[in-house]
Amino acid sequence: MEVNLVNNPILLVALLACFVAQALKVVVELIKNRKLNLRSLVSTGGMPSAHSALVGALATGIGQTVGFNSPEFAIAALFAVIVMYDAAGVRQAAGKQARILNQIIDELFEDHEFNEEKLKELLGHTFTQVFVGLALGVGISLVAARAF
């Protein structure tokens, strides 16, 4: 069995959607904060959700290729729902907890040296960030289908 990932259009479109979403985070940061933040290229959280773009493009590509009534599409769609729920629910809650813990540490240890790094606060996404990521992924998959 030959493995040739470069010739897998569904995989390539899903990865393209993820990379476009990550690149858009830099643009959003530039517009919002008026400074170039290249760390946004590899960060979690923010607008739009790259996870949602990836799974949206993946499910759409599978639906376009093998049919929206197929078991493969059902699996991909449910996988996408779980990923997006996690991004907007569980990871968003973890980010809020990190923000509160960082605030507690700052207040309790403001006069003392605390050797631990601050917890990462921007982990999850808002519903809007997830929805925009999903729309971006679906859109990229629909446009890319014409190219393949």
To which H or E segment does residue 93 belong?
Answer: helix 91-108
Name the CA radius of gyration of the chain, rounded. 18
The pTM score is 0.77
- Residue 2: what pLDDT? 73
Q: Is-cis flag, bond preceding 9, omega within 30?
A: no
Closest to 43 measured CA to CA, from 127, 117, 124: 124
Nearest Cα to 83, choosing from 104, 59, 65, 63?
59
Q: Which helix (H) or strand (E) is 136 found in, with range?
A: helix 127-147
* pLDDT at residue number 101: 73
Token digits of residue 148: 């393949």
In a structure prediction context, what are the per-residue pLDDT tens digits for the chain, which is 148 residues long? 677 777 899 999 999 999 999 999 999 888 888 888 777 777 777 889 999 999 999 999 999 999 999 999 999 999 999 999 888 876 666 667 777 777 777 777 676 665 566 645 555 678 899 999 999 999 999 999 877 6
Instruction: Kindly state the tokens that stand for 75.
Output: 């699996």
